[in-house]
């Protein structure tokens, strides 16, 4: 069995989930970008057992974040189907327009930090985990985490593209490093230093069946079998999900 920890299911979820099932992908973490996709993910989790609902406001969209957004997210969590805040974080590199064709300047840092702090607070208070979007912003994200030294933080750094030292800092905070195929070969030096117990797999797509390809790429680099990568990384996800959601 395999797990894909970062999938966007807002387009044609039924056929893509069927293909995933045929590929033995048993866990699909549906990532959100705004409150609309958050609500859709909750509905999908109610309909499909392999889907784990995530909610969140993407750092490209946090100019839309408001107290009402925070309340709406809290209400969704109260319904009991929400697994994680995904995705949230800070992006200092770029921002894509809604059409995903036009590249814009990142939103102001203070706007991103305000929304990120609110979403971290929601996750901690609700005992759910975080899936982080980090683009050139490790320092800023870890500074927010410094406010929670007496609380347990946990989660995943999605599509990790940082350095070996940054990966280690996230590991020390209790975060798994998520690997997707598009980051090869840039991610190779980081992946070589990590054990299978420290990573999870993702496609960052609407085709979770393609996580099989990510598994194969990791197996080749780590010189282990695909079944070993699948077994360990899926177990890592199950530990995050806990006994009631895995």
Q: How confident is the model at residue 12 (pLDDT cuts 50, 70, 90)?
A: confident
Domain annotation covers residue 246:
no
Q: How confident is the model at residue 243 (pLDDT cuts 50, 70, 90)?
A: low
Question: What is the DSSP code (8-state) at residue 30?
Answer: E
Which pLDDT does position 99 carry in this prediction? 75
Domain annotation covers residue 234:
yes
What is the average per-residue pLDDT within 16-32? 97
Question: How long, in residues, is the chain?
Answer: 246
Domain annotation covers residue 109:
yes
91-138 pLDDT per residue, tens: 999 898 877 789 999 999 999 999 999 999 999 999 999 999 999 999
Domain annotation covers residue 108:
yes
- pLDDT of 244 > 70? The answer is no
Tell me if 161 sits within 8 A of 136, measured CB to CB.
no
- pLDDT of 10 > 90? The answer is no
Quick one: what percent of the chain has pLDDT higher than 90?
89
Of residues 182 and 114, more confidently modeled: 114
Domain of residue 57, residue span? 2-241
Which residues are paired to 90 by β-bridges? 134
What is the average per-residue pLDDT within 55-84? 95
Which pLDDT does position 245 carry in this prediction? 52
Give the CATH number of the domain where residue 237 resides: 3.20.20.140
**Which residues, at least 6 apart from 177, have a Cβ–Cβ distance to it below 8 Å?**
156, 157, 160, 167, 170, 171, 190, 194, 198, 199, 200
Domain annotation covers residue 81:
yes
What is the average per-residue pLDDT within 166-195? 95
Tally of domains in the chain: 1
71-87 pLDDT per residue, tens: 999 999 998 889 999 99
Q: H or E stretch including 219? A: helix 211-222
Half-sphere exposure of 91 (CA within 13 A, CB side): 23
Domain annotation covers residue 178:
yes
Q: How confident is the model at residue 149 (pLDDT cuts 50, 70, 90)?
A: confident
What is the average per-residue pLDDT within 16-23? 97
């Amino acid at each position: 069995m395999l797990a894909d920890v970062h999938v966007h299911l807002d387009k044609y979820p039924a056929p893509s989930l069927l293909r995933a099932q045929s590929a033995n992908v048993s866990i699909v973490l549906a990532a959100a970008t705004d409150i609309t996709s958050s609500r859709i993910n909750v509905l999908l989790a109610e309909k499909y057992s392999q889907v784990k609902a995530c909610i969140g406001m993407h750092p490209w969209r946090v100019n839309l974040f408001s107290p009402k957004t925070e309340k709406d997210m809290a209400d969704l969590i109260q319904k009991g189907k929400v697994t994680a805040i995904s995705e949230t974080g800070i992006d200092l590199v770029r921002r894509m327009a809604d059409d995903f064709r036009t590249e814009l300047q990142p939103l102001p840092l203070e706007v991103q930090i305000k929304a990120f702090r609110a979403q971290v607070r929601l996750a901690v208070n609700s005992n759910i985990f975080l899936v982080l979007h980090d683009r050139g912003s490790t320092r800023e994200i870890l500074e927010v985490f410094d406010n929670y030294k007496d609380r347990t933080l946990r989660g995943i750094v999605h599509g990790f593209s940082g350095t070996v030292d940054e990966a280690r800092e996230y590991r020390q905070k209790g975060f798994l490093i998520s690997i997707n195929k598009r980051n090869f070969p840039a991610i190779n030096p980081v992946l070589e230093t990590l054990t299978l117990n420290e990573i999870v797999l993702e496609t960052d797509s609407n085709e979770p069946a393609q996580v099989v390809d990510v598994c194969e790429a990791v197996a080749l680099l780590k010189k282990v079998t695909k079944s070993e990568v699948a077994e360990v990384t899926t177990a890592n996800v199950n530990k995050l999900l806990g006994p009631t959601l895995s």
